[in-house]
Amino acid sequence: MQVLIITGIALALCGVVFAFQNNVPVTVTFLFLRFDSWLALVILLAALLGAMVIALVSLPAAVRVRWQLRRQQKSIDQQQMRIVELERQLAAAEAKALASPGSDGVPPVTLFRPHPDAVRGTGERTT
């Protein structure tokens, strides 16, 4: 922050020195307009006008980037909330599995057993 202030003061001093050294009167003609002024004032006004044009041209891109950043931050916040919810559900499921009856805290596994009346392709009954 201090660097910006020092830089601003230095540029202002350079502008003042420039104005004192270039105090020659000039006549400016643009289209049908004509006015007399100091050379330094004309140059500084032209630079200011150029800076304003650049700011106006770059404004839509800056707004678009800011909107995109806002949307992405909202998406990140939603995903973080979803992660917290899923971690809570996982912890609850693990606690439930450990609390259920089973040997050494491992939930019982049910294996698929075919119905006794089921018949294989050979015509044999399975048990």
pLDDT in tens, 18-61: 777 877 888 888 888 888 888 888 888 888 888 899 889 999 99
C-beta neighbour count of 40 within 10 angstroms: 19
Tell me the average pLDDT across 51-75.
92
Enumerate the domain spans of the chain: 2-97
User: Is the pLDDT at 121 greater than 60, yes or no?
Assistant: no
Instruction: Check residue 95 and give its pLDDT.
Output: 85
Q: Residue 84's pLDDT is what?
A: 92
Mean pLDDT of the chain: 81
**Tokens of residue 34, six digits:** 């004509």
Per-residue pLDDT, 78: 95
- What pLDDT shows up at residue 118? 58
Which has the closest alpha carbon to 105: 95, 118, 116? Answer: 95
